[in-house]
């Protein structure tokens, strides 16, 4: 699950006879791969490759009697086009919009609203990812980590920017000063004419 949606899953099916030993019932594989004549394609997974292996187990209670086991290994790769179009592409678009917010002047008031909008959009994406991934506490997907870190970065940036503005306003009112205008007309300042 760590590399979701670019993950590769390994499924193993083991067959073993516990009622009879290997002298009474012998299990063996006819081929070294799984026959795929009845295989039906899936919209989520591609069957990458398969193999079959045989092992014999000897237990100390039964003496030198073999118990054969057949293992079928299926290697499945997730089809990721759906996730690229519906999760990753919008995420990249929102990251570009969030980076564009750094060029918005702080005093305009739109920087904070744009940052909060991006923060809410990332929160919605985290909910979408949580619904589409299997529930597990062992691993967290890369996409979830990307969204969480991006959300933390943006909220920290918004918090620092807001507190810096408040601090300047509070300091200015304490010193009975106002914030300077961000647009300085150099012509009027230096009396430059053409």
**Cα 50 from Cα 84, distance rounded (Å):** 27
pLDDT of residue 18: 82
Structure tokens at 122: 């990332």
With a cut of 50, which residues of the chain have pLDDT below it?
Answer: 165, 167-169, 171-172, 174, 177, 179, 194
- The pLDDT value recorded for residue 49 is 92
List domains and CATH numbers for the chain.
8-78 (no CATH), 81-174 (1.20.58)
Cβ contact 150:121 at 8 Å: no
Whose tokens are 């390994």? That residue is 10
- Specify the pLDDT at position 101: 76
Convert the pLDDT of each residue in 90-114 to its tens digit: 878 887 887 777 777 777 778 778 8
- The pLDDT assigned to 194 comes to 47
* Residues ≥6 apart with Cβ < 8 Å to 119: 151, 154, 155, 158
pLDDT (0 to 100) of residue 72: 93
d(CA 194, CA 181) in angstroms, rounded, equals 24
């Amino acid at each position: 699950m760590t590399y979701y949606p670019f993950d590769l899953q390994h499924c193993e099916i083991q067959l073993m006879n516990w009622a009879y030993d290997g002298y009474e019932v012998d299990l063996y594989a006819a081929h070294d791969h799984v026959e795929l004549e009845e295989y039906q394609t899936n919209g989520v997974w591609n069957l990458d490759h398969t193999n079959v292996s045989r092992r014999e187990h000897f237990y100390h209670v039964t003496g030198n009697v073999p118990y054969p086991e057949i293992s079928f290994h299926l290697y499945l790769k997730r089809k990721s086009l759906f996730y690229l179009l519906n999760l990753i592409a919008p995420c990249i678009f929102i990251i570009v919009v969030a980076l564009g917010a750094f060029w918005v002047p702080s005093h305009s008031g739109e920087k904070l609203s744009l940052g909060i909008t991006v923060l809410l959009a990332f929160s919605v994406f985290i909910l979408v990812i949580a619904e589409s991934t299997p529930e597990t506490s062992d691993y967290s997907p890369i996409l979830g980590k990307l969204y969480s870190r991006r959300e933390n970065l943006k909220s920290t940036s918004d918090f620092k920017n807001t507190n810096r503005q408040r601090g300047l306003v509070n300091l200015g009112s304490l010193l009975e000063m106002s914030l300077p205008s961000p647009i300085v007309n150099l012509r009027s300042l230096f009396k430059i004419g053409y």
